[in-house]
Structure 1
Amino acid sequence: MDNVQTNDLQAMGRAAKAAAATLAQLPDPDKQRALNVMADAVIAATDTILAANQQDLDGATIDPRFLDRLRLTPARVQDMAAGLRQVAQLPDPTAQIDRGWVTEDGLTITQRRVPLGVVAMIYEARPNVTVDAAGLTFKSGNAVILRGGKEALHSNQALATTLRHALTSIDLPADAVQLITDPSHALATELMHLNQYVDVLIPRGGAGLINRVVQTATVPVIETGAGNCHIYVDDAADLEMARKIVINAKVQRPSVCNAAEKLLINASVADAYLPVLAADLRAHGVELRGDDRARAIVPDMVAATAEDWDTEYNDLIMAVKVVDDVDAAIAHINAHNTKHSEVIITNNLAHSRRFQDLVDAACVYVNASTRFTDGFKFGFGAEIGISTQKLHARGPMGLDALTTTKYEIVGNGQVRA
Structure 2
Amino acid sequence: MQTQLSPEFADTADGREAEAILRKCVHCGFCTATCPTYQLLGDELDGPRGRIYLIKQVLEGQQPTEKTRTHLDRCLTCRNCETTCPSGVQYGHLVDIGRRIVEKKVPRSPGQRALRWTLKQGLTSPLFAPAMKLGQSVRGLLPPALQAKVPARQSAGTWPSRTHARRMLLLAGCVQPAMAPNINAATARVLDACGIQTVIAEAARCCGAVKFHLNDQAGGLDQMRAAIDAWWPLLDSGQAEAIVLNASGCGVTVKEYGHLLRDDPAYAAKAARVSAAARDLGELLPELLPRLQAAIDKPSAHQVLAYHPPCTLQHGQQLRGGVEQALRTLGFALQTAPEESHLCCGSAGTYSVLQPQLAQPLRDRKLHHLQKLQPAAILSSNIGCITHLQSGTEVPVRHWIELLDEALLPAVSSEKAASPRGLA
TM-score under structure 2 normalisation?
0.24
Structure with more of its chain in helix, by fraction: 2
Q: Which has the higher contact order (CA 8 A, sep 6+)?
A: 1
Rg larger for: 1
